[in-house]
Amino acid sequence: MPLPSEKEEIWRYSPIDAFDLDRYVPVGEEQRDRPIQSGRSSASWIAPEELAPGIVAVTANGWLQRVDRVEAPGSVVVRSALDLDASPPAFGAVLSDVDAFVCMNDAFHPGSVVLEVPAGVQMDAPIVVVHLVEPEGLDGAPAIFPRMTVEVGEGARARLVELLVARSDPGVALVVPVTELRVGEKGDLSYVAVQQLGTRTWHIARLCGEVEREGRLRTLTVGLGATYDRSRSDVTAKGEGAATELRSAYFGSDTQVHDVRTIQEHAAPRTTSDLLCKGAVAQESRSIYSGLIRIRHGATKSNAMQTNHNLVLDQRSHADSVPNLDIEENDVRCSHASSVGPIDEDQRYYIESRGVPPERAERLIVLGFFDDLIDRSPMPEAMTAVRRQIGERVVRALASRSAPPGDVCD
């Protein structure tokens, strides 16, 4: 299978043509229990008391190392597919729309991390999976393939957080996660993924969701780290009355590229989908959003919304936004909206006229820009940390551009 090229619509505007596969070596079995190097990790930013998790699992370079249960119903299980008699049947990405990166994950992933929430079981405490990426000490530039498979049974409810973090000073790495989420009839899953990898890492992620009749899936992906950060979410409302909500946020600085692709597919009548994607780019960073609403034949009375807003903070930063519709049915409601622009001068003038110094005014405006997304996120308790991270990034990006770094923190 060839590597994708920028000529394909789903890779348009991306730097994929500059991708050098030969540079990377997949991490092998010998990495399963290797000790981790010392050094400050970007893991140190989400406090346990903020999330109050019910289950915490840790993977290192893709291998599931440990699962701790704080408080969880006994029937809710997180384990490695290596401990099961058979791998859970693939769905989503591996079947519907395979590309070279999904293929690679399929070939090299070190056993899926499997989360099962049986029918009727309701668990409110978040299940947290921390994926640690530690390229230091490996031979060559490692390619790491985390894989996660989630089954939420009929009438079950669960909340899952995946954190993708780098340990110590990270070298060059390729991280290709695939996450498959299945929500059964009247099931309910909230999902948050936060990517905070090292500054020389390529992150190419695929998220696939399927929702059965009257089920609900809410997702949020947050892109903070990596040099190229791509997050593609394909979510299908499969059964009648199924509802999906997609949220995405990114903040870019330096020469980062954030690339968010979404597909909201409606395959049954009376399904709803609601997408909100917001990002800000500073310095020489750029972002791409492209999204597709696809209403399949027969999905009458479906209702789909798609909104993408971008804040461009510097002259040299850039954002592309491409919303698309593909509608094969009548009697549906679809709306899309998209905007790209700098900070509103009236807002800036208003805030500064109240005595707020310029740098702080800008930080307030950027955080305010993200606040409506944060308010509409599937997991409010995860957002305090995310908001704090975005705030710190804004402060750093602004400080680097004003000559003497002034008093920009509060």
Instruction: Please give the residue ranges that form the binding site for other proteins (CB under 8 A).
Output: 35-41, 43-49, 51, 53, 56-58, 60, 65-66, 68, 70, 128, 130, 132, 163, 165, 167
Please state the closest distance from residue 204 (CB atom) to other proteins, in A. Answer: 23
Query: How many whole angstroms separate alpha carbon 145 and alpha carbon 50?
Result: 28
Between 62 and 215, name the residue whose CB sits nearer to other proteins: 62
Residue 115 amino acid letter: L
Q: What is the b/e burial string over 322-339, where b = at least 16 CB atoms within 10 angstroms of the residue's CB?
A: ebebebeeeebebebebe
Between 38 and 315, name the residue whose CB sits nearer to other proteins: 38
Please state the closest distance from residue 350 (CB atom) to other proteins, in A. Answer: 36
Provide the CA 378 distance to its chain's centre, in angstroms. 13
Provide the CA 377 distance to its chain's centre, in angstroms. 12
Between 25 and 70, name the residue whose CB sits nearer to other proteins: 70
Between 136 and 274, name the residue whose CB sits nearer to other proteins: 136
Between 132 and 383, name the residue whose CB sits nearer to other proteins: 132
Please state the closest distance from residue 135 (CB atom) to other proteins, in A. Answer: 14
Between 34 and 301, name the residue whose CB sits nearer to other proteins: 34
The DSSP 8-state label assigned to residue 97 in this structure reads: S
Query: How many whole angstroms separate alpha carbon 236 and alpha carbon 273?
Result: 9
Please state the closest distance from residue 251 (CB atom) to other proteins, in A. Answer: 20
Q: Tokens 């209702």 label which residue?
A: 303
Query: How many whole angstroms separate alpha carbon 199 and alpha carbon 196?
Result: 9
Query: How many whole angstroms separate alpha carbon 379 and alpha carbon 218?
Result: 9
Query: How many whole angstroms separate alpha carbon 399 and alpha carbon 262?
Result: 33
Please state the closest distance from residue 169 (CB atom) to other proteins, in A. Answer: 12
DSSP E strands: which ranges in 6-105? 24-26, 55-60, 63-69, 77-80
Please state the closest distance from residue 134 (CB atom) to other proteins, in A. Answer: 9
Q: Are 343 and 365 in contact (CB under 8 A)?
A: yes
Between 37 and 400, name the residue whose CB sits nearer to other proteins: 37
Residue 128 in tokens = 């947290």
Please state the closest distance from residue 45 (CB atom) to other proteins, in A. Answer: 6
Helix (H) or strand (E) holding 209: strand 201-211
